[in-house]
Amino acid sequence: KQEVTQIPAALSVPEGENLVLNCSFTDSAIYNLQWFRQDPGKGLTSLLLIQSSQREQTSGRLNASLDKSSGRSTLYIAASQPGDSATYLCAVMNQAGTALIFGKGTTLSVSS
Amino acid sequence: GAGVSQTPSNKVTEKGKYVELRCDPISGHTALYWYRQSLGQGPEFLIYFQGTGAADDSGLPNDRFFAVRPEGSVSTLKIQRTERGDSAVYLCASSLLAGVNTEAFFGQGTRLTVV
């Protein structure tokens, strides 16, 4: 059974810092991996999708990497801003291609 | 529509009652998913539709939960004999194609509270 773990559970940084969020998964047979952002009381916003054949994806200040063989992904946020404060969720598409399996998320707080 | 729409945004019901939660996916999206999210947890998969059929319902916790998508667009999640443990945010997502390498877009969720 696929399990997704995110470390750390919470992170507080001052504005301007670069930071890395970690995600690990137990079954390397995945179709893709997605990173989402969730603001309190809101739904999920897709940030980046990495296909199983890709190693990384970039969007603005965000860069996500994928190492399928080791079951790891990282989300790198450059020059963090207070508006980046949210919970970041990592999810992998299951082997059947029918469901995303989520981690519990990392709650990020960026202070000004 | 512009995004995935879920109604109602909040629902409070008494234990034992029946509830229906509605999801309007993005127009043209053939894949539709339901998830449940408890406080402090990541979303938990419930059911996946490809078109009108439930291609994967392995996440439904028990037979009190049922979902339909009769015309391949709007979906309704139905919960019978609600229990306090059913209280959670129910999220709907849609994607253009089935699984593999297509991005999933989520609605804002329905917060269900069973009292």
**H/E element holding A111?**
strand A106-111
Contact (CB<8Å) A34/B104: yes
CA distance B3 to A103: 24
CB–CB of A65/A24 below 8 Å? no
Distance from CA of B45 to the nearest CA of A (A): 6
B45 chain-A contacts, CB cut-off 8 A: 99-101
B39 has a chain A CB within 8 A of its CB? no
Give mean pLDDT, residues B49-60. Answer: 90
Contact criterion met (CB below 8 Å) for A13 and A93: no
B32 compared with B55, residue with greater pLDDT: B32
Taking CB atoms and an 8 Å limit, are A44 and B103 in contact across chains?
no
pLDDT beyond 70 at B100: no
Flag if B101 and A36 touch (Cβ within 8 Å): no
Whole-number Cα distances in Å, B11 to A24, B44, B88: 35, 19, 10
For residue B107, pLDDT beyond 80: yes
Cis peptide upstream of residue A14 (ω within 30 degrees of 0): no
Report the pLDDT value the prediction gives residue B51, as an integer from 0 to 100.
87
Q: With cut-offs at 50, 70 and 90, classify the pLDDT of residue B96.
A: confident
- For the cut 60, the answer to whether the pLDDT of residue A8 exceeds it is yes
How many Cβ atoms are within 10 Å of B97's Cβ, its own excluded?
Answer: 12
With CB atoms and an 8 Å threshold, state whether B105 touches A46. yes
